Amino acid sequence: MDTAHVEIDLGFFPLMWMMNFVRPRLSIDGVVEKRSWGKHPVTLREGRHDIEAWFPYLLPGKVCRGSITLELEAGKSYKLRYRPGWLFMSGKMTVVEQAMLPSATVHQLR
């Protein structure tokens, strides 16, 4: 079975300091885990995956839930970023696009 590498960044805007008192939840294909804030590398099989993150706050439930469905290709790497919304609004899970840098050209000075 071929796999893909996924790095999930669970973070928040620094002015949302109250987030330091809660631990986010990460769900991959319905399997929920309590995680810490920060980057989490995960290896998943190729194919379709449902990934979501949220945190509990005072009442049980999925506060600031952000989710995404990805079709992963074997041998590829993906970076995702979760950020909760302000004032308990919906969170956002996005694929972080990385710019492809052009090949460096070396010029020798004489």
Three-state DSSP class for 18?
Answer: helix
Residue 51's nearest CA partner among 21, 75, 24 is 24
- The domain locations on the chain are 3-95
Q: What is the pLDDT of residue 88?
A: 73
pTM, whole model, 2 decimals?
0.80
Three-state DSSP class for 62?
Answer: strand
Q: What is the pLDDT of residue 1?
A: 65
Residue 35's nearest CA partner among 15, 6, 10, 57 is 10
Write the pLDDT tens digit of every residue in 61-79.
888 999 999 999 888 999 9
Q: What is the pLDDT of residue 110?
A: 44
Does domain 3-95 bear CATH number 2.40.30?
no
Write the pLDDT tens digit of every residue in 1-39.
699 999 999 999 988 888 889 999 999 999 999 999 999
Which stretches does DSSP call E strand in the chain? 3-10, 25-28, 31-34, 38-45, 47-57, 59-72, 77-83, 92-95
